[in-house]
Amino acid sequence: MRSYKTRPTLWVALMSSVLSLAACDGNGGNGSMAVIASMPPAPPADKNFTDSAPVPNVPAFVDNIATNQRGDARFATLDTNAGVRLVSKYLNLWKPLTEIVDAGVSAPAVGSFPAIVPSSWTGLPNDGTPGGTILNTAVLNENIQFVVDTTTHRTQAQADAAYFDDRRGKGFSVTDGMGPLADAWRTAAQQTTTITTIPANATTVLFNDTGNNIGVGSASNATFGHVVDLLSAMGNNASTEPAKRFYKYARPFRWSAQVAVDPTLVPAESTDPTTDGGYISGHEAEAMRDALTMAYCVPERAQEMTMRGMELGFNRIEAGMHSPLDVIAGRMFATAATVANLSDPANATLKTEAFQQAHTALMAATGTTPATFLAFAHSQPASTDRFADPATNKANDISWMTFGFPQIEATDMPPVVPKGAEVLLETRFPYLSADQRRVVIKTTEFPSGYPVMDDAEGYGRMDMFAAFGGYGGFVGDVVVSMDAAQGGFNANDTWSNDISGSGKLTFNGTGTLQLSGNNSYSGGTQVKGGALEAGSTTAFGSGDVFVGAGSAIIGASSAVKVGGKFTVLPAATLELDVNGTGGGQLAVGGQLFFSGSALHVKFASGFTPKVGDTIQLISGGVGQQQFSNVTVDGFHASAVYSNGTVSVRLDS
């Protein structure tokens, strides 16, 4: 499409004289007669401090994952086993019969650590023998009632999904969270499964998956093997058995006969309840671990993969095999294990190779390039990709993080970010520093007070779906610089969260960053380079916007509102992407300064204006100003400055 600059007019030529005369008449109000100073406003003031997320002063799981063992007397207690300790807020709700990793476990003494003698726990909470002590009846009753309600209202489709997620390898199951990339991933990984149908006779047939789960490693898979190797490495010291055998909390169908286990899974019920604890969910831990690792390798699907991991946890409740608290703790443990293994220096080279190999292989398989890969990864509709709708994902994330439990402890505890947790975001936000990634996690955490989730390190409150969407709040000065030459998210990214806070955003570099949330941050926005795009009506929050270099893009589907001043200096460009229904328009509540800068008007696909149309672009305190040039794609056009507005008339 052609682009033309607006034609100069006599009014334009006389503008400097008009400004000089207007400055003498003393009218400082807004509207068509407003007087705008010849000097631009100052940029929003810096806050002169930067937010941080200090490492909590507690033993870190990332440093102690190797203690997560069963059958070793050295690691059998709350104090000595990092996996048991991570989910220990359960001890506020339930006191196990013995506080030791001893359900079905025996082990000899080691030094000063006494021998482990198997617990007398039967695994049957209603058989009249001591099984543990309920400390919070309301919460634990709600925990089991949630399973009763879910399983008794389960549809056949939900039952089928629960069956597949129970019996198939978890790595194979969660791969469908890749959406348009799923088939390419499975082919490249050489993944297989033997669970392809629902058994016809559930009472006698038990399907066990004899496929290869995550696929074939680098020993015989040259194009994708490092990805598979990384998935395998995430299982190091990641067993949920120590926690299960410490907490000794029965599965929901043993607590209540009203729990309707999926009939196809009844044969899968363990015949030995003494070693079959429900807390924590091993299926959810493995699935979430795989999902987060796949998100690390393909961050273009990070939010969707997170939701697939959480969905599998919900399906464990649908199956009647686990309770919500089992699943929450399984998610926490998976996040910690993934952080620890991604942070292991032994995996430093492997994780880099896996990220590169995943992109090379998947682009080759899908015929995409670095410039088109992200769009292809989100190219299927919700009818094909069940994680395609961001609103649905967000609603499910909120639901599955807490399963509706009330807050039972302090609701105003400050956010806590685990040591090393920033590693989960290093491929998603390569242009942020490690400290900034920690702040992203901090500003997207869930509130405190929910059962189990207030662990000392912060894993329970980490909301990875939200964290993959960027900052949730600005505190102090947030300075971001992107380098488009590095490609991927360095070149183009979107922050989708609703950003609050009193901080200021300063954007620099050569990339393009879109803000698409319902933002309310008040410290202002300054653009020093690159392109900062408003993808929502309130993208720029409530403060001033100052574009000193680079460009500001108004790309939301409805008019973008700026509560404060809006300044575009001569070295910068304002781009308006007009859709004919309000999109591409700018409404400024404070002073507007754009004298000498450039305006570029584009028309969104599907909007076809015609010669002779006059299209309003900007409203607010415009005053006696004009752009140095206005480019309108496909038309010769003239700028129209009238009554506090800027419009363009399409001349030819």
CATH code at position 390:
1.20.144.10
Quickly state the pLDDT bin for 207 (edges 50, 70, 90).
Answer: confident
**Shared-domain flag, residues 434 and 480:** no
Name the residue type at position 365.
A
Per-residue pLDDT for 27 more than 70?
Answer: no
Residue finishing a domain among 399, 426, 444 = 444
Residue 18: what pLDDT?
34
Which region among 80-94, 187-201, 202-216 has the lowest average model confidence (pLDDT)?
202-216
d(CA 588, CA 621): 7
**Shared-domain flag, residues 490 and 569:** yes
Cα three-residue angle 420-426-430, rounded to 5 degrees: 145
d(CA 281, CA 143): 14
Per DSSP, helices labelled H in 56-136 are 61-64, 82-86
Picking from 304, 318, 500, the residue whose alpha carbon sits closest to that of residue 397 is: 304
Task: Report in angstroms the alpha-carbon separations of 143 from 12, 98, 200.
Answer: 71, 22, 32
Residue 373: what pLDDT?
97
**Shared-domain flag, residues 76 and 96:** yes
Quickly state the pLDDT bin for 171 (edges 50, 70, 90).
Answer: very high
Beta bridge partners of 95: 133
Cβ-count burial 422-449 (b if 16+ within 10 Å, e if not): bbbbbbbbbbbeeebbbbbbbbbbbebb
Tell me, yes or no, whether 403 lies in a domain: yes
Quickly state the pLDDT bin for 200 (edges 50, 70, 90).
Answer: confident
Interval 335-354 mean pLDDT: 98
Per-residue pLDDT for 12 more than 60?
Answer: no
Per-residue pLDDT for 67 more than 90?
Answer: yes
Q: With the C-alpha atoms ordered 320, 324, 328, 329, is the resulting torsion angle positive or negative?
A: negative
* Pairing verdict, β 531-534 and 550-554: parallel
Tell me, yes or no, whether 465 lies in a domain: no
Picking from 37, 107, 39, the residue whose alpha carbon sits closest to that of residue 72 is: 107
Per-residue pLDDT for 623 more than 50?
Answer: yes
Residue 39: what pLDDT?
84
**Shared-domain flag, residues 535 and 575:** yes
Picking from 45, 8, 46, 249, the residue whose alpha carbon sits closest to that of residue 139 is: 249
- Domain with 153 in it: 61-444
* Three-state DSSP state, 561: strand
**Shared-domain flag, residues 412 and 332:** yes
Tell me, yes or no, whether 206 lies in a domain: yes
* Three-state DSSP state, 599: strand
Tell me, yes or no, whether 282 lies in a domain: yes
Tell me, yes or no, whether 438 lies in a domain: yes
Residues 6+ apart with CB under 8 A from 200: none
Q: Three-state SS string across 389-425, please? A: CHHHHHHHHHHHHHCCCCCCCCCCCCCCCCCCHHHHH
Interval 338-364 mean pLDDT: 98
Tell me, yes or no, whether 103 lies in a domain: yes
Residue 147: what pLDDT?
98
Quickly state the pLDDT bin for 298 (edges 50, 70, 90).
Answer: very high
Number of domains in the chain: 2
pTM for the full predicted model: 0.93
Interval 5-33 mean pLDDT: 34
**Shared-domain flag, residues 406 and 487:** no
d(CA 279, CA 322): 8
Beta bridge partners of 576: 554, 601
Give the largest Cα separation in the chain, rounded.
97
In what helix (H) or strand (E) does residue 617 lie, and over which residues does it extend? strand 614-621
Tokens of 530: 């690159």
- Both ends of the chain: CA-CA distance in Å? 14
**Shared-domain flag, residues 72 and 30:** no
Per-residue pLDDT for 16 more than 60?
Answer: no
Residue finishing a domain among 423, 444, 465 = 444
In the block, tokens 């008019």 appear at 559
Residue finishing a domain among 424, 444, 464 = 444
**Shared-domain flag, residues 194 and 239:** yes
Quickly state the pLDDT bin for 622 (edges 50, 70, 90).
Answer: low
**Shared-domain flag, residues 389 and 528:** no
* Three-state DSSP state, 531: strand
d(CA 168, CA 290): 14
Interval 568-593 mean pLDDT: 94
d(CA 489, CA 536): 20
472-520: pLDDT as tens digits: 999 999 999 999 999 999 999 999 999 999 999 999 999 999 999 999 9
Per-residue pLDDT for 426 more than 90?
Answer: yes
Tell me, yes or no, whether 29 lies in a domain: yes
**Shared-domain flag, residues 416 and 494:** no
Phi, psi of 590 (to 5 degrees): -110, -160
The answer, yes or no, to whether the previous bond of 280 is cis (omega within 30 of 0) is yes
d(CA 570, CA 596): 5
Quickly state the pLDDT bin for 642 (edges 50, 70, 90).
Answer: confident
**Shared-domain flag, residues 509 and 573:** yes
Picking from 510, 497, 580, the residue whose alpha carbon sits closest to that of residue 551 is: 510
Rg value, the chain, Cα: 29
Q: How many CB atoms lie within 10 A of CB 200?
A: 8
Tell me, yes or no, whether 454 lies in a domain: no
**Shared-domain flag, residues 136 and 230:** yes
Residue 38: what pLDDT?
66
Which region among 36-50, 137-151, 287-301, 328-342 has the lowest average model confidence (pLDDT)?
36-50
* Pairing verdict, β 614-621 and 545-547: unpaired
DSSP character at residue 110: B
Mean pLDDT score across all residues of the chain: 93
